[in-house]
Amino acid sequence: MFGRCGDATTDRSATAHGDPVVSARLHVQRRGVSPWGIAAVMALEGCAGTVTSRAFDASRGPPSSYDPRRRGEDARADGPAPHVVELSLPGLSRYARMSDGTVRCRGDNRYGQLGQGTTDETPTDAPRTIPGLDRVVQVIATLSNAACALRDDGTVFCWGANDFGQLGIGHPQDERCGAVPRACRARPTRVEGIDEVVQLAADVMSFCAVRRSGEVWCWGSALPLLPSEGSAIPVRATLTDVAALWIRDNAPIIRLRTGTFLDLRQRGRAQIPAGAEIEGHLATGHLCYRLPDQTVRCLGRNGSGQIGNGASSRTDLVASPWDPGLRGVRSVITGSSHTCAILDDGRVSCWGDRFGLGSSGESPEVCESILGPVRCVTHPAPLAGLDEVTGLFPASWGGCALRVDRSVWCWGNEGDRTNPAVPVRVLW
């Protein structure tokens, strides 16, 4: 059986519980929650899309201006074979952006989310290269079985399920996929009406694009930047001078070109100082960022101890930024209900839901998350078995690390299902 929001095991069959939507539906019905609340439950628990690398900044030029080492690449040498530089791990399908600009994928393909032009009721564990998709500088996917890629010319291509308009291509090109048919598109299709895009962000059922001009365009459903009925094609948001954005708790965090951060949920300035860095951000209920002094601050939902303040609460939000106590932090990322950081020595420290932490060596506590009691660690703890880490990529429960030798190591739902606490090497 798959994990709570899907995993990266080598199983080639999926039970009803293997579909995260089915799992959520069964859970909320047992607790007397209407199935219409499933999307809200998934959003609160972080079962959403991922932005697995540092966001491009519209005020700083094209994506190529970024140091590739900050995106998980080893810039010291070019190997003869393509290697992973970015991962997007939203649920039952997984995506790897390769050093040659192509995208490889594996996992569930019921709704064409592997981009092969076909659908398949049986998941595949063998990586497949998406045909015809090249020069990709960012790949991002959502739990609603959709994925999008940004190419180096600023164009966007999307594929997978389209029942919420999350592909941004309208509905005239829809196919029907899955045993229970849903609108879909099984091959990458150009999102018309937007160009010069420098960053993509995603929520459970929507995507947003930041253009070089500082404009923001979004499509899909259930996002404050969209009309209440959603939109199956890109619509311009009433935002200007945007450098980058991330989705937290179903509302965007905006960085303006001035360096100021805005929190659209609070309808004002965010409690994030200028100069802070947000990267590796999953669309979750909590947010962590790195300060110039290489310390970390976290705020938001804390049902699994993911804030790192030594406590947890199913209902209360941590409103003021909290310092978990780490120093010498190179990078920090948030999973659905856990947080991990790369330290200056290349090692990793994690806290939050125990299932997402790998082997920390800490005795787990019990936290009362929104989905019930979970084993957790409420303060940073070393992730054993990994060193020389250059990049982290969050998953719903678990994650993957890229080492300096370009190998990929995963744990939790993304690793060995029989021993999820121990990081294992995953080949792409």
Burial letters for 264-277: b for 16+ Cβ neighbours within 10 Å, e otherwise?
beeeeebebeeebb
Which residues touch 98 (CB under 8 Å, ≥6 apart)? 82, 83, 84, 85, 104, 428
pLDDT mean over 43-70:
42
Higher pLDDT, 161 or 33: 161
What mean pLDDT value characterizes the chain?
Answer: 82
Higher pLDDT, 100 or 69: 100
∠ CA 224-394-184, rounded to 5°:
55
284-404+416-428: CATH number: 2.130.10.30
Residue 262 is predicted with a pLDDT of: 94
Residue 354 is predicted with a pLDDT of: 76
Least confident of 50-54, 134-138, 196-200, 344-348: 50-54
Burial class (CB in 10 A: 0-12, 13-18, 19+), 368: middle
pLDDT tens column, 314-362: 888 899 999 999 999 999 999 888 999 999 999 999 999 876 666 555 6
Residue 267 is predicted with a pLDDT of: 74
Q: How far apart are CA 282 and CA 395, in angstroms?
A: 8
Q: Which fold has domain 48-276?
A: Methylamine Dehydrogenase; Chain H (2.130.10)
Q: Quickly list DSSP for 19-45.
A: SHHHHHHHHHHHTT--GGGHHHHHHHH
pLDDT at 160 over 50: yes
pLDDT at 166 over 90: yes
Looking at the chain, the domain(s) classified CATH 2.130.10.30 span 48-276, 284-404+416-428
pLDDT tens column, 239-296: 999 999 998 777 889 999 999 999 887 778 898 999 999 986 556 789 999 999 999 9
Residue 16 is predicted with a pLDDT of: 32
Please report how the helices 38-45 and 20-30 are oriented relative to each other, as an axis angle in degrees rounded to 10. 110
The most confident of 55-64, 105-114, 276-285, 395-404, by mean pLDDT: 105-114
